[in-house]
Chains A and B, each alone.
Chain A
Amino acid sequence: MTLQPKTRWLFAAAIASTVAAGGVFAQATAAKEQFFPVISYRTGPYGPNGTPWANGYVDYLKMINARDGGINGVKITFEECEFGYDTARGVECYERLKSKGPTGATVFQPLSTGVTFALTDKAPTDKIPLITSGYGRADSVDGTVFKWNFPLAGTYWTAADILVQHVGKKEGGLDKLKGKKIALVYHDSPYGKEPIALLQERAKMHGFELLLLPVTHPGVEQKSTWLQVRQQRPDYIFLWGWGVMNSTAIKEAVATGYPREKMYGVWWAGAEPDVVPVGEGAKGYNALAFQAGAGQAAVHQDVLKHVYAKGQGTGKQEDIGQVLYNRGMIHAMLAVEGVRQAQKRFGNKPLTGEQVRWGLENLNLDPAALKRLGMEGFIAPLATNCIDHEGSRKARIHQWDGQKWTYTTDFYEADMQIIKPMITNSAKQYATEKKIEVRDCAKEVS
């Protein structure tokens, strides 16, 4: 085929412009997106708790896109993968999402101890950080061994320590705990067993007696446990449950006649789905609030304005500000701020998991930063470094008054004098078992 000179030019120009436009377009979409995987459970045994968390998480990401146009101009994309709290399916979701987006998955937050364990093994190979904020292995605070794990803003050892401090204060001093009985009613899984080591340490220090009362999964059958409570009459009960186990435990407490005021749940046993099904009986029940309990801060107004007002909301508008919704939001915020911090070093472009890891390790959410985020007074300031992947170890107690959760105390801080050696020992054992080379933080340039 021969073309006239003029036609040939046009043809060439058309091709060139198509290629150029296509190239620019491809680059534009490829260059300005940060992919956030969301592995969640809206179905299955823990669905009622997983749903508000996932709503909060996704709403926050949507809000950042709508309000700021992404993180410093880098748009957030996300995909949800439902795993129904089944570890094998959770791992499948991880594999499905880990290499999506131009730079792969930013960070994973599985919200399940089983999946956390499995991913702790996989994340280092794939170079994707893992935020297990408020759950997971307590010893993963040690960044020299757990380079890719970030139990930001609280572990189970922090939680247990704060609960002991609180009951100590109620008794009028930690020394007054001598001879008292504290029962730990726990989900019989790694999740529930995690605080035992710390509580035993504290029991030795203060001379209180620790009763360990395991409840088998899923926790709908607790008669024998509460029979023991009836016999032993512990002075306090710490409840370490999740999902239906919590409401069942409170119902059993009502049946046993154990005062709800003396029951303290961990932050996974202190949300609306845990107390609402119990009705009046739950009044007076206490729990730890993970950073923030229920309620709204300035950031919620942004979510309402930029997401819900446009009909883009993930859940129901009236559920905003619930405990687990807020937690999802805080978790999303931590991930987003990790990216923002990493952008300061690597530039405002889509970042790889490895780069985001650096950001998470150098987070500094001081009061000014929290004010910018609209979370001033909502959560405690947080700063991480190479050795400390927790960043903040503070929590408050809140109480259910039959209608809503209200704070009854100010922030407590966990005692690192006790926890630090435990973390170091446990992490060291893990490192030898797994043949991990321990990082030397002094040598690393940050």
Chain B
Amino acid sequence: MLYRENGQFKSTYRADQQVLPIRQDRWFMAAVLVFAFAVVPFIGTQYTFQAILIPFLIYSLAAIGVNLLVGYCGQISLGSAAFMAVGAYAAYNFAVRVPQLNFLVILVLAGLAAAAVGILFGTPSLRIKGLYLAVATLAAQFFLDWTFARVKWFSNYSPSGAVSTTPVSMFGFTFETPAEKYLFVLSVVVVMTLVAKNLVRSHVGRAWMAIRDMDVAAKVIGIRPVHAKLTAFAVSSFFLGIAGALWGFVHLGSWEPAAFNLSQSLRLLFMVIIGGMGSILGSFFGAAFIWLTPLFLNQVPAALGVQLSTATISHIELMIFGSLIVFFLIAEPHGLARLWAIGKEKLRLWPFPH
């Protein structure tokens, strides 16, 4: 009754091609953005910013990156965290060696560096597919882990191999309080999401999806697989690189190479699978599910006043979390984004389902 597009007529192609064609969706999105930008900074605590929202937003950005490659272009990658590491270390080196750079410039440069490395490690995808490609990208993970641990230049010859970042500043303004950092990350994520959303609706995204669905057919209709696959790797790594730079500079502040290890890659892949392959919205759902559910489960017993040892809570958390993953994958193999879409369909018919 409330959610129905009756009476919303499109009279131009432009109107028909909007990101959100239904008015209610636009209102909803506007409300979410106003809430995130104008309300959350005033009501959030330090804990919600630093432990929940900032990591969630950065993970969402990274998950979008992985989704572009895995969900839209169908190239399975197990090296996502390595591309984040490239972004983080590139940002670190630019910040240390060219201290006067604006952080926004650093972010873009970090993204470009990651994109270049992504193209390099994406070349095997021209010859190999599926699981074989997954193994090839695993090599990227190991190789880059090794590089950042071994080649001392990347960590500016710090004796322990760990790096420590400079404060995030641009145009003479330094982001210091958690709320400021949150707003900065949020702005970056919103802009990048818009870019991603439009990209997948453009001819580039359509080429990726054609390759994903059937590469031979795509070739026949004139899509260049080399171009499509490598752009997917480049754009995906660009997103991951920026996410990595944010993770290093805004979230951690200083890190060791293990911050971007294989388990981080797997975590990102799970976000995409559970959130929904080939869905930008799904990336946010996946990031929220993987990052927030364990935190929630971990704090439930204390909130209910149940006295349990932290070890027990942690074991229970893992068990419930694991079974939730299985449950969601059985209930909806296409991910949380698909559940959301079904919910919207149901809402259109409500209260008179047929």
Q: Which of B44-52, B64-72, B125-133, B321-329 contacts A (4 or more CB under 8 A)?
A: B44-52
Q: Are B161 and A82 in contact (CB under 8 A)?
A: no
Q: Are A194 and B310 in contact (CB under 8 A)?
A: no
Q: What is the CB-to-nearest-CB distance from B318 to chain A, in angstroms, rounded to a whole number?
A: 8
Chain A's closest residue to B49 (CB) is A95
In the complex with contacts A121-B254, A189-B257, A217-B258, A82-B313 CB distance below 8 A: yes
**Cα–Cα, bound, A117→B161 (Å):** 11
**Cα–Cα, bound, A217→B146 (Å):** 12
> Which chain A residues lie closer than 8 Å to B252 at the CB level?
87, 91, 117-118, 121
> Which chain A residues lie closer than 8 Å to B298 at the CB level?
82
Chain A's closest residue to B45 (CB) is A99
B276-319: which residues lie under 8 A (CB-CB) from chain A? 294-295, 298-299, 309-311, 313-315, 318
Q: What is the CB-to-nearest-CB distance from B262 to chain A, in angstroms, rounded to a whole number?
A: 10
Q: Are A114 and B166 in contact (CB under 8 A)?
A: no
Most buried by A among B45, B50, B254: B254
Is B253 on the interface with A (CB-CB < 8 A)? yes
Residue of B55, B156, B256, B311 near A42 (CB, 8 A) is B311
Q: Are A95 and B51 in contact (CB under 8 A)?
A: yes
Interface string of A193-215 (1 = CB under 8 A from B): 11011000000000000000000
> Which chain A residues lie closer than 8 Å to B55 at the CB level?
88, 92
> Which chain A residues lie closer than 8 Å to B162 at the CB level?
113, 117, 190
Chain B's closest residue to A80 (CB) is B310
In the complex with contacts A117-B255, A118-B255, A197-B159, A96-B166 CB distance below 8 A: no
Is A51 on the interface with B (CB-CB < 8 A)? yes
> Which chain A residues lie closer than 8 Å to B255 at the CB level?
87, 114, 117-118
Q: Which of A14-22, A243-251, A289-297, A430-438 contacts B (4 or more CB under 8 A)?
A: A430-438
Instruction: How many A-B residue pairs have C-beta atoms within 8 angstroms? Tell me.
Output: 105
Q: Are B51 and A433 in contact (CB under 8 A)?
A: no
> Which chain A residues lie closer than 8 Å to B193 at the CB level?
none
Chain B's closest residue to A136 (CB) is B160
Q: Are A189 and B254 in contact (CB under 8 A)?
A: no
Q: What is the CB-to-nearest-CB distance from B100 to chain A, in angstroms, rounded to a whole number?
A: 12
> Which chain B residues lie closer than 8 Å to A84 at the CB level?
314
Q: Are B164 and A43 in contact (CB under 8 A)?
A: no
Q: Are A121 and B310 in contact (CB under 8 A)?
A: no
Q: Are B258 and A51 in contact (CB under 8 A)?
A: no
Is B204 on the interface with A (CB-CB < 8 A)? no
Interface of B is mostly: helix
Residue of A42, A51, A87, A188 near B259 (CB, 8 A) is A87
Q: Are B257 and A121 in contact (CB under 8 A)?
A: no
Q: Are B311 and A82 in contact (CB under 8 A)?
A: yes
Q: Are B256 and A189 in contact (CB under 8 A)?
A: yes
> Which chain A residues lie closer than 8 Å to B259 at the CB level?
87, 114
In the complex with contacts A189-B258, A190-B161, A121-B253 CB distance below 8 A: yes
Chain B's closest residue to A430 (CB) is B164
**Cα–Cα, bound, A139→B159 (Å):** 10
**Cα–Cα, bound, A42→B315 (Å):** 10
**Cα–Cα, bound, A320→B259 (Å):** 34
Q: What is the CB-to-nearest-CB distance from B285 to chain A, in angstroms, rounded to a whole number?
A: 19
Q: Are A81 and B310 in contact (CB under 8 A)?
A: yes
Q: Are A121 and B258 in contact (CB under 8 A)?
A: no
Q: Are B311 and A43 in contact (CB under 8 A)?
A: yes
Q: Are A95 and B311 in contact (CB under 8 A)?
A: no
> Which chain A residues lie closer than 8 Å to B45 at the CB level?
99
Is B251 on the interface with A (CB-CB < 8 A)? yes
On chain B, which size bracket covers the interface?
A: 35 or more
Residue of B161, B164, B254, B318 near A193 (CB, 8 A) is B161
Is A98 on the interface with B (CB-CB < 8 A)? yes
A392-446: which residues lie under 8 A (CB-CB) from chain B? 426, 430, 433-435
On chain A, which size bracket covers the interface?
A: 35 or more
A89-122: which residues lie under 8 A (CB-CB) from chain B? 89, 91-92, 95-96, 98-99, 113-114, 117-118, 120-122
Chain A's closest residue to B55 (CB) is A88
> Which chain B residues lie closer than 8 Å to A434 at the CB level?
164-167
**Cα–Cα, bound, A217→B262 (Å):** 11
Is A40 on the interface with B (CB-CB < 8 A)? yes
Q: Are B314 and A190 in contact (CB under 8 A)?
A: no
Most buried by A among B96, B252, B255, B299: B252
Is A137 on the interface with B (CB-CB < 8 A)? yes
> Which chain A residues lie closer than 8 Å to B253 at the CB level?
118, 120-122
**Cα–Cα, bound, A196→B96 (Å):** 23
Chain B's closest residue to A125 (CB) is B176
Q: Are B159 and A433 in contact (CB under 8 A)?
A: no
> Which chain A residues lie closer than 8 Å to B258 at the CB level?
87, 114, 189, 217
**Cα–Cα, bound, A305→B199 (Å):** 69
> Which chain A residues lie closer than 8 Å to B318 at the CB level?
43
**Cα–Cα, bound, A91→B54 (Å):** 12
Is B116 on the interface with A (CB-CB < 8 A)? no
Chain B's closest residue to A156 (CB) is B160
**Cα–Cα, bound, A47→B164 (Å):** 27
Is B149 on the interface with A (CB-CB < 8 A)? yes
> Which chain B residues lie closer than 8 Å to A189 at the CB level?
149, 161, 256-258
> Which chain A residues lie closer than 8 Å to B46 at the CB level?
95, 98-99
**Cα–Cα, bound, A176→B261 (Å):** 42
Residue of A88, A95, A121 near B47 (CB, 8 A) is A95
In the complex with contacts A87-B258, A91-B252, A193-B159 CB distance below 8 A: yes
Residue of A92, A190, A196 near B256 (CB, 8 A) is A190
Q: What is the CB-to-nearest-CB distance from B244 to chain A, in angstroms, rounded to a whole number?
A: 13
> Which chain B residues lie closer than 8 Å to A137 at the CB level?
160
Q: Are A113 and B256 in contact (CB under 8 A)?
A: yes
> Which chain A residues lie closer than 8 Å to B313 at the CB level?
82
**Cα–Cα, bound, A88→B162 (Å):** 16
Q: Are B51 and A96 in contact (CB under 8 A)?
A: yes
B238-280: which residues lie under 8 A (CB-CB) from chain A? 251-259, 261
Chain B's closest residue to A435 (CB) is B166
**Cα–Cα, bound, A95→B46 (Å):** 7
Q: Are A42 and B309 in contact (CB under 8 A)?
A: yes
> Which chain A residues lie closer than 8 Å to B251 at the CB level?
91
In the complex with contacts A82-B298, A435-B167, A43-B314 CB distance below 8 A: yes
Chain A's closest residue to B149 (CB) is A188
> Which chain B residues lie closer than 8 Å to A82 at the CB level?
298, 310-311, 313-314
Chain A's closest residue to B251 (CB) is A91
Q: Are A51 and B256 in contact (CB under 8 A)?
A: no
Sample of 5 more A-B contacts, CB < 8 Å, known A43-B315, A51-B311, A118-B255: A82-B311, A82-B314, A96-B299, A189-B258, A193-B159
16 residue pairs A–B, Cβ–Cβ below 8 Å: A42-B310, A88-B55, A91-B50, A96-B299, A99-B47, A113-B256, A117-B255, A117-B256, A118-B254, A120-B254, A121-B164, A121-B254, A138-B159, A189-B257, A190-B256, A191-B160
The 4 closest A-B pairs by CB, nearest first: A121-B253, A42-B311, A95-B51, A190-B160
Q: Could you list which residues of chain B lie within 8 angstroms of chain A, going by C-beta atoms?
A: 45-47, 50-51, 55, 96, 149, 156, 159-162, 164-167, 176, 251-259, 261, 294-295, 298-299, 309-311, 313-315, 318
